[in-house]
Structure formats: C-alpha cells, structure tokens
C-alpha cells in the first residue's frame, strides 16, 4: 500500500514527461515573467524574406493573411523580420514611413490576435554592418548610421508600447562585420535604453556578434536588465546549409548531404555552448534561426531540421525555422498552396 503512494508523490514532483516537457534553462538573472516567456517560445517560424526585403515583394513573396492564419495554427511563435531602415528618413531622426509602420502594425496585431508570441526585429540594415547594400536599399551619411537605429527603436517601441507582453522586440538581426565586440555592446545598450523609455518590462532579445553564432557569446556584454533573452542562430554545418547560395562570392558546391557524426557534432557543440553560457549567466537563450538552403537535397534538409529541433528541445531551447514560404528553406509552398511535407514533418510531427 505504501509503495504506490510514495511513487505517486514522486511522479507528481517530477511532473508529466511528455514530448513537450523540456528541461528548464537557468533564469537567475531575469524576472519570472521573462523566464516564462522564454520557456513558452516553443516551436517557431520566421515569416522571412517578406517585410525584410528592401520593399515587400522584392524577394518574390508578400506577407499574405493566409500565411498568418496557417502558420499560427502550427507554431507557437512567429519571428517577424522587418527592414525598417529602408522605410525611414535617411537623416538621424529616421522618421519611419507611416504607411509602412501601419503595415507592420496590422501584421503584428493579426498575429497577436491568433494567440502566438511575436518577435519583432530590425533586420538587414546592411550599411551599419559594413556589408554591400542590397539592390533597392538606399545609403545614408555614415555619421548618422547608429543614431538612426536608436531613433528607429525609439519610434517602434513607442508605437507598440501598449501591446501585450506576447510581443517581444529583437534589437538587431545578426550583428556582424563592422558591428562586433565593444561597438555592438555599446550600441545594444543605447538601443535597449531607447526601448526602455516606453517599454520598461517588455522582453527584448539581443544576439551576439558573428551572425549571432553561439561561439560569439563570450564577447556579448548585456546591459543590466531583468527582461532579456539572448538570441542565437545556428546554420552549422554551414557547407551543408548554405550550399549553392547565390549571394556568396564563392558558393559552396552542392551535393553535400546531412547528417553524419561530424555534422551532428557541430550542431550539438553550438547548442551546448549556448547552454553553458545560459548556466553561467542566467539569461535564457532562443534559437531564432536555423535552416538549410533549397539547393541541398530535401531528405537531408529534413534530417537536419529534425536534428536541430530535437537537440534544441532536449536543451529546453525554443526555436524558429528560417523560413516560412520563401526560397531559402520555406516549409510551405505558396505557389502550390501545400506544405513541403518532409520539412513540415521534421519540424512539427
């Protein structure tokens, strides 16, 4: 009689162990609310290559209401990349084009109404990171580059200040190039201060340099703030995920498959590094991007998706696939109006 009772007590203490019960990350440096939001990010999708193109539609896909409807039925989090810098005055005040801001408002509200968490970011401010401009992107006086970003955030944050806490901000996608180390640390602190003026407790994501690879985490110096999550990205193994991409000067050859032991080890090492950093720093991490370019074979891409998803979930790290319906690695085929089944299964089954 006694054994089953004790057993029942133990099971209660441990809690149900189903596919969704992930280990918790260490949250000792953030508030309980930020910790809960981080743990609720779960499975996510990037509505990429839409509002982050120089102009919506430039990269072949517009953000359609049906995408919102369908994606939010299957993912708990939507990351919304937005190229604000190309829809704002070229001057230091960076006054945002009102029609564009309203377009983003509409998408954010439609997503929130569907009950998902939304990560709204600043994506592709190419000149700030020293990269060549994308076709259709305009240049500004280098003296106002950083000030513009501060003022973009001042406006974005003010505009969204009354939205629910399910809306998260991410200061900048993948700092890299000329925006590394101390320059990024200093700028991130200024951007956060601009946000905090109107949003004292909204959760904000900050990624490290080196395209937000976990290996750059040691150089990230976070401002003291209890409402932060750290954004990491992983495209390891890079020769596989970026084979044949058109924008590299020397494209990796195609034909690389995934995932053998060495490739698996790369995925695991990056996520382990992120988890070690979390344990030491007490700020939760989120895997905001991973994906494999369509030039790779579909079976390998699905195997990669499953591998990264499983390894992230095993570590209690929420994730977001790059991306929904565009030509990098869309999980949905907008022309045929069908899921790319092997990818859907790998991510969601």
| Site residues for ligand BGC per CB under 6 A | 123, 173-174, 289, 322, 328
* Contacts (Cβ under 8 Å, ≥6 apart) of 2: none
Q: How much of the chain is helix, strand and coil, in % rounded to 5?
A: 40, 10, 45
Q: Dig out the tokens for 338 from the structure.
A: 């069908």
| Orientation of helix 341-348 relative to helix 298-314, angle to 10° | 10
**CB of 137 or CB of 289, closer to ligand BGC:** 289
Q: How far is the CB of 49 from ligand BGC (least distance, A)?
A: 7
User: What are the φ/ψ torsions at residue 201 (nearest 5 degrees)?
Assistant: -125, 15
How far, in whole angstroms, is CA 42 from its chain's centroid?
12
In the complex with ligand BGC, the residue whose CB is nearer, 131 or 282, is 131
CB of 54 to ligand BGC, least distance (A): 12
Q: Which helix (H) or strand (E) holds 192?
A: helix 181-196
Q: Which two tokens mark 347?
A: 């991510």
Q: What are phi and psi of 223, to 5 degrees?
A: -65, 150
Give the CA-trace dihedral at 137, 127, 84, 339, to 10 degrees.
70
292 vs 302 by CB, closer to ligand BGC: 292
Give the number of C-alpha atoms closer than 13 A to the C-alpha of residue 116, restricted to the C-beta side: 28
In the bound state with ligand BGC, the residue whose beta carbon lies nearer, of 124 and 154, is: 124
Query: Whole-number minimum distance, CB 50 to ligand BGC, in Å?
Result: 11
Specify the DSSP class assigned to residue 243: B
Least spacing, CB of residue 248 vs ligand BGC, in Å: 10
Tell me the closest approach of the beta carbon of residue 309 to ligand BGC, in angstroms: 17
| Cis peptide, bond prior to residue 305, ω within 30 of zero | no
DSSP output for 248-264: SSSPBPS------HHHH
Work out how close the CB of 123 gets to ligand BGC at its nearest, in angstroms, rounded to a whole number.
6
Residue whose CB is less far from ligand BGC, 35 or 118: 118
Compare residues 240 and 322 and give the one whose CB is closer to ligand BGC. 322
Is the Cβ–Cβ distance between 119 and 170 less than 8 Å?
A: yes
CB of 37 to ligand BGC, least distance (A): 22
Give residue number: closest CB to ligand BGC: 328
Shorter beta-carbon distance to ligand BGC: residue 277 or 328: 328
């Amino acid at each position: 009689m006694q054994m089953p009772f004790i057993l029942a007590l133990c099971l209660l203490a441990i809690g149900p162990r189903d596919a969704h019960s992930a280990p918790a990350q260490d949250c000792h440096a953030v508030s309980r609310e930020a910790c809960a939001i981080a743990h609720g990010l779960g499975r996510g999708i990037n509505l990429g290559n839409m509002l982050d193109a120089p102009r919506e539609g430039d990269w072949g896909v517009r953000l359609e209401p049906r995408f919102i409807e369908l994606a939010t039925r299957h993912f708990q989090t939507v990351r919304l990349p937005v190229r604000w810098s190309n829809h704002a005055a070229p001057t230091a005040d960076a006054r945002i084009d009102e029609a564009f801001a309203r377009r983003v408002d509409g998408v954010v509200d439609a997503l929130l109404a569907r009950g998902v968490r939304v990560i709204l970011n600043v994506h592709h401010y190419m000149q700030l990171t020293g990269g060549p401009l994308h076709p259709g992107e305009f240049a500004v006086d280098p003296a106002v580059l950083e000030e513009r970003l501060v003022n973009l955030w001042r406006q974005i944050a003010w505009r969204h200040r009354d939205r629910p806490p399910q809306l998260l901000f991410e200061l900048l996608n993948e700092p890299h190039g000329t925006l590394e180390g101390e320059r990024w640390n200093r700028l991130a602190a200024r951007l956060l201060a601009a946000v905090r003026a109107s949003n004292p407790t909204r959760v904000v994501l900050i990624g490290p340099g080196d395209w937000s690879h976990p290996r750059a985490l040691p150089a990230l110096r976070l401002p003291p703030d209890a409402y932060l999550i750290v954004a990491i990205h992983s495209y390891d193994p890079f020769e596989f995920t970026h084979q044949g991409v058109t924008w590299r000067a020397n494209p990796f050859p195609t034909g690389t498959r995934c995932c053998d032991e060495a490739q698996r080890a790369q995925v695991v090492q990056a996520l382990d590094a992120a988890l070690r950093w979390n344990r030491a720093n007490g700020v939760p991490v989120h895997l905001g991007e991973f994906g494999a370019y369509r030039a790779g074979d579909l079976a390998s891409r699905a195997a990669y998706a499953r591998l990264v998803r499983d390894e992230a979930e095993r570590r209690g790290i929420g994730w977001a696939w790059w991306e929904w319906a565009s030509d990098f690695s869309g999980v949905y085929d907008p022309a045929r109006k069908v899921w790319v089944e092997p990818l859907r299964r790998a991510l969601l089954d």
